[in-house]
Structure 1
Amino acid sequence: MNKVYYIMGVSGSGKSTIGKLLSKELKIPFFDGDDFHSANNIQKMSEGIPLTDDDRQSWLQTLNDLAVEQSTKNSCVIVCSALKQKYRDILNTNLTSKTIWIHLVGSFDLIQKRVQRRADHFMPTALLQSQFDILEKDANAIEISVDLSPQKIIDIIKNQHHD
């Protein structure tokens, strides 16, 4: 059965790094949610303005459509912040494949340092606190500390969720 691996967490938690590694390891397609934001959303974030639920609606729907389409052909890895349960509910809509949620967690200080080191990302460090503020944990997600090495994180995911 095909699976959709959703990797969630605040900006700077390592979603793209882990997603690409998992995709390579499992030999399945990788999709970065950031690549599907509208120009308007990217502009708002670039200006330090947090996105509203309305801003995120079409983005989440696009990612859900992608997951549904991909899961008919293959398993896949999709990374996106998915900070609220209602966002995850949208991402899971109409999916008949198994979904596996992986939540990368770390302290504000550690993740802030990571975000400050990124030169090529549209989201300024100032928006990080707003992400921590709205983050709702997912009881069904496996939580993995970003203090671990990327390979250790991949090993945990594979050991717990790969048949």
Structure 2
Amino acid sequence: MGVSGCGKSTVGRLLAERLGVNFVEGDALHSDRNVAKMAAGVPLTDADRHGWLQAVAEQLNNPTAEASGVVASCSALKRIYRDLLRAGAPDLRFVFLHGDRALLAQRLGSRSGHYMPPSLLESQLDTLEPPGDDEAPIRLDIALAPPRLVEQALQALQALENPS
């Protein structure tokens, strides 16, 4: 989870590969209307995001995901969004990718072929409610290379499964 440009898809794919589970690209679940709105530089509202979050939740809550696990990329910017995702998947863990605004802007500026324009970074940062300690997030600084982030995520997940 995190704002656009933080590396959710890259880290998520690598993490899913290392865990041997399926990866769900949250961006692919947006409606055509949402994609068009974002492509036009218009931030999504809570109402816009609701159906999309439900689609992500369905991917997390399906029997295959429950049996074998799944990694999904999803901005999950607000606690109410994360609560909706957790409602059907109580064991859901969030890996919060966060970083410097300048680094995020640089990444968005150099990204091609994505509908999310760099101009929406500020609205995402304004919307972001970082997960609280009570949500037990795995917080990772995106200044590190994706393979290192995956290693840190794996270590944190293992520690959650096998507390000392």
TM over 0.5: yes
Match of 1:156 among 152, 155, 158: 152
Distance 1:12 1:72 in 2: 28
1:81 matched to 2:81: no
Structure 1 position 65, deviation (Å): 1.1
Name the counterpart of 1:3.
Answer: none
The list of structure 1 runs, each at least 4 consecutive aligned residues, that deviate by more than 2 angstroms after superposition, is 70-73
More strand by share: 1
Q: Deviations over 1:65-102 (max 9, x none)?
A: 11000433311100111000000011111225x21111
Q: Percent identity?
A: 38
Match of 1:39 among 32, 50, 72: 32
Q: How does 1:85-100 map to 2 (within 5 A)?
A: 85-96=79-90, 98-100=91-93
More helix by share: 2
Amino acid at match of 1:88: R
Distance 1:141 1:47 in 2: 32
With the length of structure 1 as denominator, give the TM-score of the two structures: 0.92
Amino acid at match of 1:99: L
Structure 1 residues not aligned, in runs of 5+: 1-7
Report the number of matched residues: 155
Match of 2:124 among 94, 117, 131: 131
Structure 2 residues not aligned, in runs of 5+: none
1:64 matched to 2:57: yes
Q: Deviations over 1:7-60 (max 9, x none)?
A: x00000000000010011111000110000000000000000000000000100
Amino acid at match of 2:92: T
